[in-house]
Amino acid sequence: ERVMTQSPATLSVSPGERVTVTCRASQSDSNNLAWYQQKPGQVPRLLIYGTSTRAEGIPARFSGSGSGPEFTLTISSLESEDFATYYCLQYNSWPPSLTLGPGTKVEFK
């Protein structure tokens, strides 16, 4: 069974700081990797797909990089509305499946 490791579990940061979240897949070189942001009581929001493509309307401060099995989400300068939990999600074509990271909570320092 594929497992996605995500680190760190929690990040305590201040606005303006640079944030980096990493996901590592246990056994996949798929670059079908997306990042989602979820705030309490809200629906997850797609930030990045295909490892590095920003979704429509996502600010340029969000960027994705990497290649299987290690991927990174970077927020270049954290803004107050970015405090949330971030998840990586990978699609693998065989067998067809999705793998989710456990999430990284970005909290106010």
In the complex, the residues that contact another protein under the rule CB under 8 A are 1, 32-34, 36, 38, 43-44, 46, 49-50, 55, 85, 87, 89-91, 95-103
Instruction: Report in angstroms how near the CB of residue 87 gets to another protein at its nearest.
Output: 5
CA nearest to 17, candidates 71, 63, 74, 98: 74
**Which is closer to another protein, CB of 44 or CB of 76?**
44
**Which is closer to another protein, CB of 17 or CB of 100?**
100
Instruction: Report in angstroms how near the CB of residue 79 gets to another protein at its nearest.
Output: 23
What is the per-residue DSSP string for 7-71?
E-SEEEE-TT--EEEEEEESS-----EEEEEE-TTS--EEEEETTTEEPTT--TTEEEEEETTEE
Instruction: Report in angstroms how near the CB of residue 77 gets to another protein at its nearest.
Output: 25
**Which is closer to another protein, CB of 43 or CB of 60?**
43
**Which is closer to another protein, CB of 15 or CB of 50?**
50
Q: Which residues is 93 bridged to in the sheet?
A: 96
Instruction: Report in angstroms how near the CB of residue 67 gets to another protein at its nearest.
Output: 14
Question: 3-state class of 81 per DSSP?
Answer: helix
Residues in the chain: 109
